[in-house]
Chains A and B, each alone.
Chain A
Amino acid sequence: MAELNPVLHTPLQHATFHGAGVVMGENLFCAKVIVRGNFDDAQLTSRLSEQAGLPVNVAANTFVENDSAAVFWLGPDERMIYSYAKEPQVLLAELRSVMPAGRSSAVDVSDYYTTIRVGGVNARKVLSAGTPFDVHGSNFPEGSCVQTRFGTASVMLVMQDSSPAFDIQVRWSFAEYVWRYLRRVAEFRTLTPQS
C-alpha cells in the first residue's frame, strides 16, 4: 500500500505581490474555530478564555491577539478563534471540553477560510476600491475587525496596525477572486498616478 504524504495546501499557495505602494501576501495556514454560545455566561466565558489564552468577551467589531492566538468578534453570540501554535483538532477538542453540551458549539473552519495580508502606503486605497466600509483610520482604528463585503465576496477586514497593515479573511473558494481583485486595483494604480 502506498504511503500517504499529505501536503498542506492553501488556496493561493502563499502568493506574494509587491508594487504601487502595496505589499500583499497570503498568511500561513493556522487553526481556526468558530465558537457560538452565550457570552453573557461568566463561567463559560472564563473557561473559554482560559483555553484560548485570550479574553473571549471582546467588544463588537474588535479583536485581541497575542503571539499564539487571536479572538475575533463575529456576533453577539459568536467568536472566531485562531491558534498559531496548535493543530486544528487539538484546539477544537480543548474548546469543546469546557463547553456545555447542547447549548453551544465549536466548529473547525481552518480549511474554510484563508487570510491575505495587505500593507503599504496605498493599502487603504486598494481596500477602499472593493469595500463599502470606510477603512479610514478614524473609522477603523487598530484592533478593529469588521465583517463586510469586498467585491461580491463576504470578508472580514482586520486592522492589524496603522503602518498600515490589514488582514482580509476570506472563504477558501473566494480567495483567488479577492486576490485578483486586489492585484488588479494595485496594478491599475501604477498606471494612473493619483494624489
Chain B
Amino acid sequence: MILINCPYCGERDQTEFACHGEAHIARPTDTASLTDEQWGDYVFFRTNPKGIHYERWVHVHGCRRWFNAVRHTVQDEILATYEVGAPRPDVGGQQ
C-alpha cells in the first residue's frame, strides 16, 4: 500500500488517486504557426524518463482536485506533491 500526500486532504491510500501523465506541458500559444512536427511533439511525445518524473494526479475518490507529484519511475516512490501552478520542487538532485 502506497500512501500519497494530497496537498489538500493529507495522506491517503493510493487507490483513491489516478495518474494522468506528465505535468508541466505548456500548450503552445502560437498554434497557427506550428509545423506538423511541432504539433506532434506537443500532442504525442512525452519524456518517459528512468528516474524522476513530474506527473499530474487527481484525487478521484477524495477532494477531486488536481495536483502534481514527483515520482521515481524505478522505485515507484512519490518524493513530493504540490499544487498545480507551483514551481517544480527540489527533490534533492536525484535522477
Contacts and interface: CB of A to CB of B under 8 A. Distances in A.
Contacts of B12: 132-133, 148
Contact of B1 (A76, A132, A154): A132
Nearest to A132: B13
A-B residue pairs, 6 tightest by C-beta: A132-B13, A149-B61, A75-B63, A154-B61, A147-B62, A149-B16
Interface string A57-97: 00011000000000000111010000000000000000000
Contacts, number: 39
B10 A60 contact: yes
Given A132-B13, A132-B15, A133-B13, A147 B8 contact: no
Range for the number of chain B residues in contact with chain A: 10 to 19
* Most chain B CB neighbours (cut-off 10 Å) among A61, A146, A147: A147
Q: Is the interface of B mostly helix, strand, loop or mixed?
A: loop
Interface string B42-65: 000000000000000000111111
A31 B47 CA distance: 48
Contacts of A76: 8, 63, 65
B65 A75 contact: yes
B9 interface: yes
B15 A61 contact: no
A148 B62 contact: yes
Interface of A: 60-61, 74-76, 78, 132-133, 146-149, 154
A61 B16 CA distance: 15
A117 to B, nearest CB: 21
Contact of B60 (A61, A133, A146, A154): A154
Given A60-B8, A133-B12, A148 B65 contact: no
A80 B69 CA distance: 28
Interface in B7-32: 8-10, 12-13, 15-16
B15 A149 contact: yes
Contacts of A74: 63
Given A132-B16, A148-B16, A149-B15, A75 B61 contact: no
Contacts of B16: 132, 148-149
A133 B65 CA distance: 18
